Amino acid sequence: MHTAAQVPSPQTLDDWLNLLESRHPQGAAGIELGLERVRAVSRTLGQQQRVPLITVGGTNGKGSTCAMLENILRHAGYRVGLYTSPHLLDYNERVRIDGTSVSDAALCSAFSRVEAARLAAGDIALTYFEAGTLAAWECFAAADVDAIILEVGLGGRLDATNIHDADCAIVTSIDLDHQDYLGSTREAIGFEKAGIYRSGRTAICSDAAPPQSLIDYATAIGADLRLLGRDFGYTNQEMQWQFWSRPPRGEVLQRRSSLAHPGLRGSIQLQNASGVLAVLEAMAERLPVAMQDIRRGLLEVELPGRFQMLPGRPAIVLDIAHNPQAVRNLAANLGAQGQAYHPTTWALFGMMRDKDIAGMIEILKPRIDHWLPCALPGPRAASADELVAALADAGVTGAARVPQPFASVAAAFDYAREKMGENDRIVVFGSFLTVAAAMRILRAARRL
């Protein structure tokens, strides 16, 4: 057992993050599913659930759902604590209070308390994500927030965020991703995602075709399951859309007034927004919101890196899409833009080796004219040569379509800027790391 005097005392947030990374062979990417470790440290910290909690899980759409929920609740006057992952540019992005990333000082203080509790609980080993989840809750408690939104990191049932009992939990979508941890089928993954549901509490799923395993799990534990298309949904009109819901045990549909489309781009956002309104409807007694708050919250929401189109020429699209479902949505959004304005499209992409690289290339092939594969940092990343080989296997060859492999996002970006015409379009996708690197370049060039 360590004593208080042995608690590490890093001086900066970078020092803390470096310490946490050093404790796992895979660094920040290290994954050790299970709740026992993080629950023991949480109890030592004395963490308690005193305000309404919404947990958001799913394969894709989690970030958009969290952003919409946060923005609507903030417009309604609530002080909201939001925990998401991973971050794009700064770790502080993961922990937001009242719409603002928390300070380095607040995070350092929280990490110090977590470290002391970890040692006091028996020198329990925590992953980077587990320590961050505990620190986020410490920040929320210190700030006396009115509501908390937690985005699940991986899966749901054994994710560190699941030590808390959500008053309302939503699963946005279920598709193949992280199969090494969650299983190789949608049914297996659906069971893991459904683990955030709780007995007697509202469980929402905004996947249009949820796996039976999710439905069976919610039914078995006695959750109040509400499904897209059965209990709630939307009607897409020419310039607006309408949300509808069926009250539990009720036969009469309730319809809300027509709404403007969400500020986030892409047709999938109506599905996500419907899930958000279903959550707010379930939480209406504890977190009432007015229609004007919903309107403004949806219209003014922003979320970097989700089909984010930057102003100016050439057109730049940033999208963290890194699994087949997300890439299908990206392809649909690119197609919806049409080729009249952007006759030539370039793809700048880097990916993790454990992703379905071949599947994603196949989906995007009809939308891309030139491919710029680039290497990313870290042992999990596919090399640029591996991406070139995957393109060749998909029939994408030739110097015109695949000019060369690139050692970095920066090298690929430099090439694109030299070769692209002002009416061209470049799509940056494949990983948070790819988009983050591009954002740093664009920030330096004052395009972001």
Give the residue with greater pLDDT, 445 vs 389: 389
pLDDT at 291 over 50: yes
pLDDT at 256 over 90: no
User: Both 265 and 318 in a single domain?
Assistant: no
Q: Are strands 224-227 and 202-205 parallel, antiparallel or unpaired?
A: parallel
Q: pLDDT band at 5, cuts 50/70/90?
A: very low
User: Both 120 and 236 in a single domain?
Assistant: yes
Residue 52 belongs to domain with CATH number = 3.40.1190.10
For 50-83, the DSSP string reads -S-EEEEE-SSSHHHHHHHHHHHHHHTT--EEEE
Average pLDDT across the chain, whole number: 92
pLDDT for 3: 43
- pLDDT tens digits for 167-187? 999 999 998 777 777 888 999
**Of 299, 329, 358, the domain-final residue:** 299
User: Both 226 and 337 in a single domain?
Assistant: no
Peptide bond before 314: cis, by omega within 30 degrees of 0?
yes
Backbone conformation region of residue 122, classed left if phi is above 0, alpha if psi is from -120 to 50, else beta = left
CA atoms of 426 and 315, how far apart (whole Å): 6
pLDDT at 359 over 60: yes
Segments forming the whole domain that contains residue 360: 308-444
User: Both 181 and 280 in a single domain?
Assistant: yes
- pLDDT tens digits for 295-320? 999 999 999 999 999 988 899 999 99
pTM for this predicted structure: 0.92
Give Cα 421 distance to the centre of its chain: 33
Q: What percent of the chain has pLDDT over 70?
A: 94
Tokens 């360590």 correspond to 2
Q: Are strands 95-97 and 100-101 parallel, antiparallel or unpaired?
A: antiparallel
pLDDT for 184: 85
User: Both 178 and 251 in a single domain?
Assistant: yes
pLDDT at 266 over 90: no
User: Both 278 and 199 in a single domain?
Assistant: yes
User: Both 324 and 291 in a single domain?
Assistant: no
pLDDT at 6 over 70: no
199, 222 contact by CB (below 8 A): yes
User: Both 226 and 90 in a single domain?
Assistant: yes
How many domains would you assign to the chain?
2
Mean pLDDT of 178-205: 92
Residue 313 belongs to domain with CATH number = 3.90.190.20
Q: pLDDT band at 405, cuts 50/70/90?
A: very high
Of 309, 286, 328, 269, the residue nearest 63 (C-alpha): 269
**Of 274, 299, 324, the domain-final residue:** 299
- pLDDT tens digits for 211-243? 999 999 999 999 999 999 999 999 998 789 999
Q: pLDDT band at 25, cuts 50/70/90?
A: low
pLDDT at 4 over 50: no
Q: Tell me which DSSP letter residue 222 carries.
A: T
User: Both 206 and 133 in a single domain?
Assistant: yes
Task: Read off the tokens for 70.
Answer: 């946060």
Mean pLDDT of 288-297: 95
Residue 396 one-letter amino acid: V
pLDDT for 2: 42
User: Both 339 and 365 in a single domain?
Assistant: yes
**Of 299, 328, 357, the domain-final residue:** 299
pLDDT at 7 over 70: no
User: Both 269 and 336 in a single domain?
Assistant: no
- pLDDT tens digits for 80-136? 999 999 999 999 999 999 999 999 999 999 999 999 999 999 999 999 999 999 999
Supply the angle between the helices 36-45 and 104-120 in degrees, to the nearest 10: 100
User: Both 61 and 141 in a single domain?
Assistant: yes
Q: What contacts 235, CB < 8 A, 6 or more positions away?
A: 241, 242, 244
CA atoms of 142 and 193, how far apart (whole Å): 30
Task: Read off the tokens for 379.
Answer: 């042992």
pLDDT at 267 over 50: yes
